[in-house]
Amino acid sequence: MAETNKTEKATPKKRRDERKKGNAYQSKDVISIVVLIVGFVLISKLGGFVAGQIKLLYVKQITMMEGLHDMTVATCMQVFREGLQVFFITAVPIMAALALTGIVMTGVQTGFLVSGDLLKFKFSRISLLQGMKRLMSLRSVVQLVKSVMKVLVIMWIIYSSVKGLLLITPDILNTGMDRSIQFMIDRTMAMVYKICLFFVAVAVLDYSYQKYDYEKKLRMTKQEIKDEYKQTEGDPFIKGRIREKQRKMSLNRMIQQVPFADVIVRNPTHFAVALKYDIDKDLAPMVVAKGQDHTARRIIEAAERNHVLITENKFLAQSLYRSVEINDYIPQEFYQAVAEILAWVYSSREKDKKAWN
C-alpha cells in the first residue's frame, strides 16, 4: 500500500540525499558496449603494431634458441623479460585505455559521484535473507531475462554468419590463401559489427529502464513531501507564530518612539505618521513611526497619552506612509508641507510656554 501511494516525483532535497548515500542510476550495458567499441577500434588501429611486436619477439627468441646448447636460469629470465616487455608495450596501453573508458562512462552516467557511504560496512550486503530478496526481486528477473535474450541473439547472429560461410566454403577453398584470409576477416568483422549494433540497442533500452527504475524508487508520498517541507522550512504554524511575535515586538519598539516625536500626521484614523526633527542633529524631518488602521490608532493613542501634537492632513499622511520607511528622512518634495506643520508645532509650544508662565 505504501508503494502505491508514492505518486509524487522526488524533491531536489531527496535527490541530494540519495546522491550523498551513493545512489545513482547507471547502465552496465552502456559501459560494456562503449568499452567493446573502443577495444575494437584500438585493436583495428594498433593490430599491425601488436602483431609486428609479437613477430619480432618470436623471431628473436627462435634465433636465440637455435644457438643454445643448454637452457640456463639466465636464459629463461631473459626470455621472460623480453616477453614481459612486449606485453607492456602492446597489451598494457590497450588495457589502460579500456579501464579509463569504463571509469569515464561510469562517471558520465553518475555525475562522477563519490560517496563515503559506499565504503561503509553494511550487514545487508552479506545477509543471506537480503541476498535472497534481491535474487527474487523484479530487478533480478529483468536482469536474468535480459542476459538470456542477449545470449540467444548473439548465438543466432553467430549461427547465421557461420551458416552463410558454409554455403560458400567450396569457393573459398579454390581461392588463394591471402584472399581467403581477407575474406574471413571481413566476414568476421561484419559479424562483430552486428553484435555491436545489437549491444547498442540493448544499452539504450537498459539505460532507459535504469532511469525509469531509479525514478520509481525515488518517488515520494504526499505525506513525505509535507514532512520534508516541515523539516527544511519549519512547521508553517510555528513559523506563523514566530512571525507574528516578531511583528508584535517590532510594533512595540515603534510605538515606544512615539513619545519622542514632534507631531503626528493622520488621516484621520486610517493612517498615522509620527515625525521628529532635531534642527541640530537631523538633516531633515524623520519618520519614527507609521501605521494603518489598528496600528494607526495605537500611534494616535500613544501620542495622546504623551501629549504629542496631532494634526490631520489626508494627502500628506498617506504619501508619507507609502513613500518613507521608518527611521528614514522625508524626501525633499515633502519639505514645504512638513515645514508648515513643524512651524505650527513650534508656535503651539511657544503659546503653551507663555500660558504656563
Question: For 187-224, how does the pLDDT look when each residue is reduced to its tens digit (9 = 90+)?
Answer: 877 888 888 888 888 888 888 888 888 888 888 888 88
Alpha-carbon dihedral sign for residues 279, 280, 283, 287: negative
- Burial (CB count <10 Å: 0-12, 13-18, 19+), residue 26: buried
- Residue 174 CB neighbour total at 10 angstroms: 7
Task: Using alpha carbons, list the distances in angstroms from residue 233 to 211, 228, 243, 285.
Answer: 29, 8, 13, 41
Read off the amino acid at residue 27: S
So what's the pLDDT on residue 36?
Answer: 86
Euclidean distance between CA atoms 150 and 203, whole angstroms? 11
Q: Which of 136, 133, 42 is nearest to 90 (CA)?
A: 42
Per-residue pLDDT at 97: 92
Strands 309-312 vs 263-267: parallel, antiparallel or unpaired: parallel
Whether residue 135 lies inside any domain: the answer is: no
Cβ pair 272, 265 in contact under 8 A: yes
Is residue 342 one of the residues assigned to a domain?
yes
pLDDT for res 135: 59
Structurally, the chain folds into a number of domains equal to 1
Give me the tens of pLDDT residue by residue for the chain, a chain 357 residues long.
445 577 888 888 888 888 877 788 888 888 888 998 898 888 888 878 888 888 888 888 887 777 666 677 777 788 888 889 988 998 899 999 999 998 998 888 887 776 655 555 555 555 566 656 655 666 677 777 878 888 888 889 888 888 877 776 666 666 766 777 777 777 877 888 888 888 888 888 888 888 888 888 888 888 888 777 777 666 666 677 777 787 888 888 888 888 888 898 988 778 999 999 888 888 889 998 998 888 888 888 988 888 888 888 888 888 888 888 888 898 888 888 888 888 888 888 877 666 665
Measured distance CA(195)–CA(190) in Å, rounded? 9
Collapsed DSSP state (helix, strand, coil) of residue 265: strand
pTM passes above 0.85: no
The whole-angstrom separation of Cα 335 and Cα 308 is: 21
Q: List Cα–Cα distances, 231 to 10, 168, 226, 238, in angstroms.
A: 16, 73, 9, 12
In sequence order, the β-bridge partners of residue 264 are 274, 310
In a domain, 350, yes or no: yes
Q: Is residue 288 part of a domain?
A: yes
287 is a domain residue:
yes
Identify whether 348 is part of a domain. Answer: yes
Q: What's the rounded Cα separation, in Å, for the pair 275 and 285? A: 6
Residue 217 grid cell: 524508487
Q: How much is the pLDDT for 1?
A: 44
Domain of 349 in residue numbering reads as: 256-356
Which amino acid is residue 297, in one-letter code?
R
DSSP-derived secondary structure letter, 180: H
Residue 62 is assigned to a structural domain of this protein = no
CATH value at residue 287: 3.40.1690.10
Query: Residue 134: inside a domain, yes or no?
Result: no
231 phi-psi bin (left φ>0, alpha ψ -120 to 50, beta other): alpha
